[in-house]
Amino acid sequence: MWKDRFSASVRPLLAEDEWLVAEEGYHPREQIVYESIFGLASGYMGSRASAEEGFCRRTLPANYVHGVFDRSEAFQRELANTPDWCKLKMYYQCEPIAPEEGSEPEDYIRVLDMKHGLVAKHYITQADDGRRTQVEIVKYISRAHGWCGAFKVWLTPLNYGGLLEFENIIDATVTNFIDFPRFRVKHMRTKCVEAMDGGGCYVESETRDFKLPVGTAAGVRICNAQGKDILKSRMFRPYGETACEFVDAYCKEGETICIEKYAALCTGRDTKNDRVRSETEHRLRGFMQTGFDAELRAHIAEYARLWKRADLEITGDAPLQKAVRFNIFHLMSTPSQTDNRTNIGAKLIHGEEYGGHAFWDTELFLLPFFDYVFPEIARNLVDYRYLLLDKARENAKKNGYAGAKYPWESADTGDEECPQWTIEPDGSCYRCYVADYEHHVTAAVAYGGVHYYELTGDDDFFENHGMEILCETARFWVSRLEYSKEKDRYEIRKVTGPDEWHEPVDNNAYTNYLARWNIRKAAEYLEKYKEEKPEVYAAITGKLGITQSETDAWTAHADKIYLPDTSGVIEQFEGYFKLTDAVIDSWDENNMPLWPKALEHVPRQQRCILKQADVVMLMYLMEHEFSLETQRINFDYYEKRTLHRSSLSPSIHCLMGLRVGESRHAYEYLCRSAYVDITNNQRNTREGIHAASAGGTWQCVTLGYCGMTTTAEGELSFEPHLPEQWSRAAYHIRWRGADLAITVTHDGVRVEQESGGQPVVYWYGGKKRTAERKNEKERP
């Protein structure tokens, strides 16, 4: 067992191997990948797993705080890399103690404990003079106090003794894109680097654009195995933008000493700017007073509560079980549970790619997980879009449209953050048209809000926020339509669908269908409120200035939107069938499809090959618009022509494969989605964790293999497709205030109601059933 590789001090802190993701052996060039894989998040901040000991040659150290964005010289506002508190350099006679110092470390293992939300490391390093030192480290970012983090070092000189020296460091020199000189930007201006009364370091920085203050404080303790304080001396020195507190302690040969490092953060988003320092120091002192072990117990208890709601058990495929938990762990750890001013970045909060921006990924890939499992977080995510609705209105007006046009990439202000130009590492530039043409994000925002409401029944959100989003996005689409007098139809020209390798095109099927849905859904809900809640109808129409003639016009426009022939293969966009055609016939070692050789010399825009699901994505979302046979024909056609160069694509192909009976292909796509980061199968995990894969993987298992859906009347329904190798899948959801435990086997579906007043009904096997009651005290 992996936990048995650790000492008796660390072993009790670790879960069973089924909950551990391991790095066995030290691989210097792979550290930037493991920094993402072993990254930790608290809902307030995220910390990449850079070496606590320092002295690592290939590293991307980063600590991101939700909502702390800056632009400066960058192409866009991006999550700013805040001062790095996670460093404790260790020395003996001025020689560093670290994995990359001396000979190759022995018995090296590092594990991500997903059950307990911590990272543990063990190794023995040998210096050039033969000194051997055993090092063990446990790190966590507190779920109980999300603005705090800590790690503990168990240090054992195996064949020597003497004075050991340590540097408690807060490094404010950090930048974004440290390993890309052309793109490197320092977003934080350091205001002060000072000692704290009673020991510890304090650094205050501010973002360069909006001058948002960020306080970072860190302190250390050193004790022996009996818990006695053995810290010998303490001295603070600032080195430019780096705070350094020097401490030391004596250690005998074979004796283990413990060094605990604590850190706390506070920003101007949390309190008044002039109180940031006092609040930061207050948070640190409280954290240290409770102590490492007690705070760790509280942290583990919080993760137990999260896993009680979020765990998804699969019996029959142990590697996949671990990969699914890996995706859930990072996904549920990232968003704030209380802050509706923040969203979830496309690489979660584990890397700087895409700047921490929210995309359509949130609404279509991530939100379903939170809708079902953590609806209180889902409410924050849909509220985020409402809070930025005025900016979406500005965005529409700026581009010559009515209503609200949401940005392709969204940060904290609601402005469009997608750059107009892309600069390659070699310095070459090309025009980026994504924000100009990829307007389907606006329909995705509306879809996410409606889906949240229909799953949760949250009238407060929908009547006060959701309907405003829905109506204003409908107005955008009506203004986006162009009338063809010759063909007597409305068209959407110069647009890009989910497949970004063909831009711009006319009448992308996905976009046209979603635009029609958006317009019709707004008119439908307005009519519903007019009949059932006239006071709500009056409030919405009065606030937005909507008249009956306007909604009649919406319906008339929607009815005339051009939609392609659906009797066979649906043309992805006008002219697609005229492209040079070929099918994929080879795959790499990770089972990723390769370009057909027949198309190697054909320009990408003229090839039939897709980046990701487009028509297939449309059929997944708009299932009732197409016959099952049409869906089957189109899946077969486009699956052979999709390269899946987006992590958004495999999960949708899994879900659609299950729907049309392609179970073998579906399982391959499930694995491709589930393993994307835990095995780095796209070779870009160094940039962060693929959020859409994490959410899409959960959907594959629950909505796909377990067959969970809702009826037209809004009731739960199950039509399972369990793989032969699985004997069981089990998970929990929170359904309109009731906690449900769902178990799916080859013999059927069992739904147990663990809390909630009204009995929950569901459909299975063509029959309406009532969930069984279970003891409420077993639920959090």
Q: What is the DSSP string of 11-34?
A: GGGS--GGGEEEEES--GGGHHHH
Instruction: Tell me the C-alpha distance between 693 and 334, whole Å.
Output: 14
- Beta-carbon contacts of 72 under 8 Å, excluding residues fewer than 6 positions away, are 185, 186, 187, 208, 209
How is residue 242 annotated by DSSP? E
- Tokens 């000072």 label which residue? 194
Q: Which of 543, 570, 709 is nearest to 626 (CA)?
A: 570
Instruction: Tell me the C-alpha distance between 387 and 391, whole Å.
Output: 9
Q: Which two tokens stand for residue 343?
A: 């969203």
Q: Catalytic one among 394, 500, 752, 772? A: 500
Q: Which two tokens stand for residue 396?
A: 């529409």
Residue 476's CB: how many other CB atoms inside 10 A?
Answer: 27
Helices (DSSP H) in 311-358: which residue ranges?
Answer: 318-333
Residue 357: helix, strand or coil by DSSP? coil
Do the beta carbons of residue 543 and residue 468 sit within 8 Å?
Answer: yes
Instruction: Tell me the C-alpha distance between 124 and 104, whole Å.
Output: 9
Q: Which two tokens stand for residue 265?
A: 């953060």
Helices (DSSP H) in 573-686: which residue ranges?
Answer: 615-621, 628-639, 649-660, 663-674
Q: Which two tokens stand for residue 240?
A: 């430019």
Do the beta carbons of residue 166 and residue 36 sit within 8 Å?
Answer: no
Q: Which two tokens stand for residue 180?
A: 């890309």
Do the beta carbons of residue 645 and residue 609 sit within 8 Å?
Answer: no
Do the beta carbons of residue 185 and residue 201 sit within 8 Å?
Answer: no
Is the previous residue joined to 105 through a cis bond, with omega within 30 degrees of 0? no
Q: Which of 53, 60, 62, 57 is nearest to 29 (CA)?
A: 57
Q: Exposed, middle or buried by CB within 10 Å (0-12, 13-18, 19+), for 512?
A: buried
Active site (annotated) includes residue 52: no
Instruction: Tell me the C-alpha distance between 308 and 310, whole Å.
Output: 6
Do the beta carbons of residue 517 and residue 623 sit within 8 Å?
Answer: no
- Beta-carbon contacts of 191 under 8 Å, excluding residues fewer than 6 positions away, are 204, 205, 206, 213
Helix pair angle (389-398, 375-387), 10° resolution: 40
Instruction: Tell me the C-alpha distance between 732 and 766, whole Å.
Output: 22
Instruction: Tell me the C-alpha distance between 433 and 416, whole Å.
Output: 12
Q: Are strands 748-753 and 772-773 parallel, antiparallel or unpaired?
A: parallel
Q: Which residues are catalytic?
A: 500
